[in-house]
Amino acid sequence: MHIVGRRRARPPLINATPPEDSLARRLGVFDATMIVMGGIIGSGIFVNPYVVAKEVHTSALILGAWILGGLTALAGAFIYAELAVLRPNLGGQYAYLKDAFHPAVAFLYGWALLLVMQTGGMAAVAVTFARYAREIVNIPLPDGVIAALTLLVLSAINCLGVRYGSTVQNLLMVLKIGAIAVLVIAGFRAPHAAVQISADAHQPWSSSLIIKFGAAVVPVLFAYGGWQTASFMTGEMRNPKRDLARALLFGVISVTAIYLSVNIVCLRTLGPLGLANTPTPAYTVLQRAIGDKGATFMAVAIAVSTLGFLSQGMLTAPRVFFAMAKDGLFFKAVAWLPKTTRVPVVAIALQGVLASIVAISGRYEQILNYVVSTDFVFFGLTGVSLFVFRRKMEASKDHRTPGHPFTTIFFVAACWLVVLATYYNFPKNSFIGFGILLLGIPVYFYWSKKKKSQA
């Protein structure tokens, strides 16, 4: 008998009532989408249009670089969405690398994340937040101290529970989107730029133009990075098979639309050549639209964006260190969960303290230079992991990567081209970063041997 208005049954949740020694599953699709977007959008979008315009000098090529970057990120999101269905377990990208290749590969990813990618990145962003916060409120403290205090406060909030950390992240992400919306709306009120014609406008495609376009795409790909960190939260999503896949697609598509909107406004107001000669394009657009108030608004917008980025990093990355400890490849205490909150407080505190030390020391720029390409090495490896799972006759019925294997090859190639470009342009820093990565190999064998001896 057909019942009118009968509701569809909700998909079953994974471990709806998890044991006390596991993470609490309290996040839904909206939370996951905000985490995806928060991992991508930092303060870079307010400056990066200028970086791209310096390489290519026509609106078509500038927007083309951002569209290509968005398509690359979307290809990666499709891959991660399928991997999320195949491996909805703890650790996300860490788990994909471990199951596809070897626990050592996953450990090296966590090693680089803890020592360099996360701590150095968060320290740098925290100092940026401190500088803009001082412009808004006159705080009589050094930038490093303000940055460290900010990191410790965010650590404390996340130790209260995943719901607290996610709520703060959601709020900051909504404010960040609002600030960018104000920039875009105000930009359409600003006067049009005079028509600017560059030498590239009538230049046919050639090897030199392709090289310039490739150089423009590299910073764009970095600007789109960060969405993968949402996969770390699978252990706290109510239905990771469904929620992460949707969040990745919704989040990446939304960010692509936001990035294109900002670039269209910058090109409309400044023109391609004007944009190439304006290191602070977002501020200049606002200044032309609303006058000197634009400087204050821009300081607030960047402060909110950097704080949101920090909040997202504090929420996501500790779950990898927790997964490493659960696997017996890190200090046992890092896997400890309080019964009341069931969040990895030791992992959160460890990350917060390390990032604070780096912020106060002022060494974050050197650390970032050492491993600027490391993240993209593991990006590419994660893409390759889909081939490994497919070869094992594992494929998802709920989600299949569109265009596989071609879109997957495209994503992997784009990631590793970024790595090659970085090694070519910054060989010394890149090899130091590679050396730091290799130092993790004996550390892995130490923990692996210790795990076997305790078994």
Confidence check: pLDDT of 94 > 90: yes
Q: What is the pLDDT of residue 196?
A: 62
Mean predicted confidence (pLDDT) in 351-358 = 93
Helix (H, G, I), strand (E, B) or coil at 265: helix
Give the chain's mean pLDDT: 87
Q: What is the pLDDT of residue 326?
A: 92
CA dihedral for 429, 430, 435, 438, sign (positive or negative): positive
Confidence check: pLDDT of 14 > 80: no
Closest CA to 52 of 276, 285, 221: 276
Closest CA to 117 of 250, 240, 228, 233: 228
Confidence check: pLDDT of 290 > 50: yes
Closest CA to 323 of 334, 339, 312: 334
Domain that holds residue 330: 29-446
Q: What is the pLDDT of residue 369?
A: 67
Q: Nearest 5°: phi and psi at 185? A: -65, -45
- CB-neighbour burial class of residue 196 (10 A; exposed 0-12, middle 13-18, buried 19+): middle
First to last CA, the chain: 57
19 band by pLDDT with thresholds 50, 70 and 90: low
Mean predicted confidence (pLDDT) in 207-234 = 87
Confidence check: pLDDT of 217 > 60: yes
In a domain, 43, yes or no: yes
Are 106 and 95 in contact, with CB atoms under 8 Å apart?
A: yes
Confidence check: pLDDT of 17 > 50: no
CATH code at position 174: 1.20.1740.10
Highest mean pLDDT out of 201-205, 278-282, 381-385 = 381-385
The number of domains in the chain is: 1
Amino acid (one-letter) located at 373: S
In a domain, 22, yes or no: no
More confident residue, 87 or 356: 356
Q: Residue with structure tokens 């996953």?
A: 106
Q: What is the pLDDT of residue 20?
A: 55
Confidence check: pLDDT of 346 > 90: yes
Instruction: Give the span between the Cα atoms of 231 and 374, in whole angstroms.
Output: 18
In a domain, 146, yes or no: yes
4 band by pLDDT with thresholds 50, 70 and 90: very low
In a domain, 76, yes or no: yes
In a domain, 88, yes or no: yes
Digit-coded pLDDT (tens) for 55-77? 898 899 999 999 999 999 999 99
Digit-coded pLDDT (tens) for 173-211? 999 999 999 999 998 887 777 656 555 555 666 777 788
Instruction: Give the span between the Cα atoms of 300 and 308, in whole angstroms.
Output: 12
As a whole number of angstroms, the longest Cα–Cα distance in the chain is 73
Q: Which two tokens stand for residue 128?
A: 């940026």
In a domain, 10, yes or no: no
Are 297 and 136 in contact, with CB atoms under 8 Å apart?
A: no
Q: What is the pLDDT of residue 248?
A: 92
Which residues pair with residue 338 across a beta bridge? none
Digit-coded pLDDT (tens) for 386-418? 999 988 876 666 678 899 999 999 999 999 988
Confidence check: pLDDT of 96 > 50: yes
Helix (H, G, I), strand (E, B) or coil at 27: strand
Closest CA to 57 of 285, 223, 278, 288: 278
In a domain, 332, yes or no: yes
Q: Which two tokens stand for residue 238?
A: 């109510």
Give pTM, 2 decimals.
Answer: 0.88
Mean predicted confidence (pLDDT) in 28-53 = 91
Q: Which two tokens stand for residue 450?
A: 């210790």
| Distance set, CA 409 to CA 92, 102, 155 (Å) | 21, 21, 38
Q: Residue with structure tokens 């190439």?
A: 276
Q: What is the pLDDT of residue 11?
A: 47
Q: What percent of the chain has pLDDT over 70?
A: 90
Q: What is the pLDDT of residue 194?
A: 62
In a domain, 57, yes or no: yes
